Amino acid sequence: MSLNAGIVGLPNVGKSCIFNALTQAGARVESFPFSTIEPNHGVVAVPDARLGELARVLAPPKLTPATLELVDVAGLVEGAHRGEGLGNQFLGHIRELDALVHVLRCFGGDVAHVSGSVDPGRDLDVVEIELALADLETVERRLEKVAREAKVGIKEARAELPALERFAEPLRAGKLLRRLELGPEGRAMAQQLGLLTAKPVLYVANVDEQQAREPDAMLGALGRRVQAAGDRLLPLCAQMEAEIALLDDPAERAMFLDDLGLREPGLDRLAREIYALLGLMTFYTFAGGKELRAWPIRRGTLAPQAAGKIHSDFERGFIRADVGACEDFVRLGSEAAARDRGRLRSEGREYEVQDGDVIHFRFNV
């Protein structure tokens, strides 16, 4: 099953603008709340300098980058856990996501703010309190059911009860579960229950062009707060990034970026940050010399499961994997040269795929 990340936040903070610039999906963008009701889904290619270097030396007829699935979710308002705005619908959509990109509005202008003023710290609190209250409701409802079952001696309920109580206590104090040490079993249970505050989050500060050039006090305060909590904040001017995304001519785009003092579009950084947030890394295949392709996988994936990303037959009939490092292919100039220099090796079923591996899978069904 593919992983996805959802773009969330209050209404009118620029979620759909960022989504469109990343995916070119053409989602509706309006200057009033709830112009997005049903989630918009899109796919974005992950910028990858290593793939470009491999393509330069291998000259593949076809080049396919790794991709991410993004979801643009309706805006949340205060009281969402009680059903305010599109609350229940919004929260239900978030439960289906693997990670969250929380957009915070830092720009001013004529676009109305649902709270009447621009204050990203306050907006951050609104969203996180709503997610914590929704989680608390989920956990307490489950606790009530499991406690009844535990009283009549159901073994599974007795085992589950302590974990639920460990969730309930911090949630009652307004704490986010992702900032606690849950352990593997706790994380698995949080995922099973669809707990919102256990999901990994990347914060995006949607700034205007002036703030993008010269960060102001508001952005600085937000950055210090997010960093103090151990999270990451990426400042991004959605309006400017949307303009950059429309430039098809590489020279024109490079000139535009140079004028802004940027080496690359902010959207490229955002795509890579989301990729890392999902715990993904990349391996490459160059099957038959016809297609050089990047494949996203979870860190810790073993070779047979990585082969299964390509086709289920590859995993079912896995024999071995011929593996080389991307850096060696680029340095030596070809797969044959890497083989001649002893930079290719055979790995078996217990091999944990590494970021940047170039792999040829051997299988027999």
Q: Is the pLDDT of residue 97 over 70?
A: yes
At 81 the pLDDT is 52
Q: Three-state SS string across 118-182, please?
A: CCHHHHHHHHHHHHHHHHHHHHHHHHHHHHHHHHCCCHHHHHHHHHHHHHHHHHHCCCCHHHCCC
Q: What pLDDT band is residue 32 in, cutting at 50, 70 and 90?
A: very low
Q: What pLDDT band is residue 87 in, cutting at 50, 70 and 90?
A: very low
> HSE of 338 in the Cβ direction (CA atoms, 13 Å)?
22
Structure tokens at 326: 């991307």
Per cent of the chain over pLDDT 90 is 52
Long-range contacts of 214-220 (CB under 8 A, 24+ apart): 218/106, 218/118, 218/120, 219/106
At 331 the pLDDT is 93
pLDDT in tens, 63-81: 999 999 999 987 776 665 5
Per cent of the chain over pLDDT 70 is 92
Provide the b/e sequence for 290-309 (b: ≥16 CB within 10 Å).
eebbbbbbeeebbbbbbbbb
Q: Is the dihedral of CA 357, 264, 224, 77 positive or negative?
A: negative
* C-alpha to C-alpha distance for 308 and 305, rounded to whole angstroms: 5
pLDDT in tens, 329-356: 999 988 888 888 989 999 999 999 999 9
Please enumerate in sequence order all residues whose Cβ is within 8 A of that of 139, keeping only pairs 6 or more positions apart, or say none. Answer: 164, 167, 168, 171, 193, 195
pLDDT in tens, 156-211: 889 889 889 999 999 998 889 999 888 888 899 999 999 999 999 999 999 998 88
For helices 120-151 and 217-228, give the axis angle rounded to 10 degrees: 30
Q: Is the pLDDT of residue 139 over 80?
A: yes
At 89 the pLDDT is 60
Structure tokens at 70: 């993004």
> HSE of 43 in the Cβ direction (CA atoms, 13 Å)?
5
Domain ranges of the chain: 4-276, 300-363
Q: What pLDDT band is residue 112 in, cutting at 50, 70 and 90?
A: confident
Q: Is the pLDDT of residue 246 over 90?
A: no
At 282 the pLDDT is 96
Arithmetic mean of pLDDT, 231-241: 91
Arithmetic mean of pLDDT, 247-270: 85
Q: Is the pLDDT of residue 28 over 50?
A: no
At 25 the pLDDT is 55
In terms of phi and psi (left: phi > 0; alpha: psi -120 to 50; beta: otherwise), the region of 260 is: alpha
Strand ranges in the chain using DSSP code E only, listed in sequence order:
4-8, 40-45, 62-64, 67-72, 99-105, 201-206, 233-236, 280-287, 291-298, 318-325, 345-347, 357-363
pTM of the model: 0.86
Q: Are 202 and 234 in contact (CB under 8 A)?
A: yes
* C-alpha to C-alpha distance for 186 and 183, rounded to whole angstroms: 5
Please say whether the structural domain 4-276 has been given the CATH code 3.40.50.300: yes
How crowded is residue 128: how many other Cβ atoms within 10 Å of its Cβ?
A: 17
Between 50 and 243, where is the model more confident?
50
Q: Are 170 and 136 in contact (CB under 8 A)?
A: no
Closest CA to 50 of 330, 345, 352, 334: 330
Mean of pLDDT over the chain: 87
At 266 the pLDDT is 87
Q: Is the pLDDT of residue 95 over 90?
A: no
Arithmetic mean of pLDDT, 27-56: 73
At 1 the pLDDT is 46
* C-alpha to C-alpha distance for 41 and 27, rounded to whole angstroms: 9
Structure tokens at 34: 């709830």
CA distances from 44 to 19, 32, 64, 330 (A): 9, 26, 12, 25
Q: What pLDDT band is residue 361 in, cutting at 50, 70 and 90?
A: very high
Between 315 and 248, where is the model more confident?
315
pLDDT in tens, 126-135: 999 888 988 9
Structure tokens at 193: 């229950």
Arithmetic mean of pLDDT, 27-51: 69
Poorest-confidence range of 98-102, 242-246, 346-350? 242-246
Please enumerate in sequence order all residues whose Cβ is within 8 A of that of 178, keeping only pairs 6 or more positions apart, or say none. Answer: 197, 198, 199, 200, 201
How crowded is residue 116: how many other Cβ atoms within 10 Å of its Cβ?
A: 7
Interstrand relation of 201-206 and 99-105 (parallel, antiparallel or unpaired): parallel
3-state secondary structure of 353: coil
Instruction: Please give the class, per CATH, of domain 300-363.
Output: alpha beta
At 213 the pLDDT is 84
Arithmetic mean of pLDDT, 224-241: 92
Q: What pLDDT band is residue 248 in, cutting at 50, 70 and 90?
A: confident
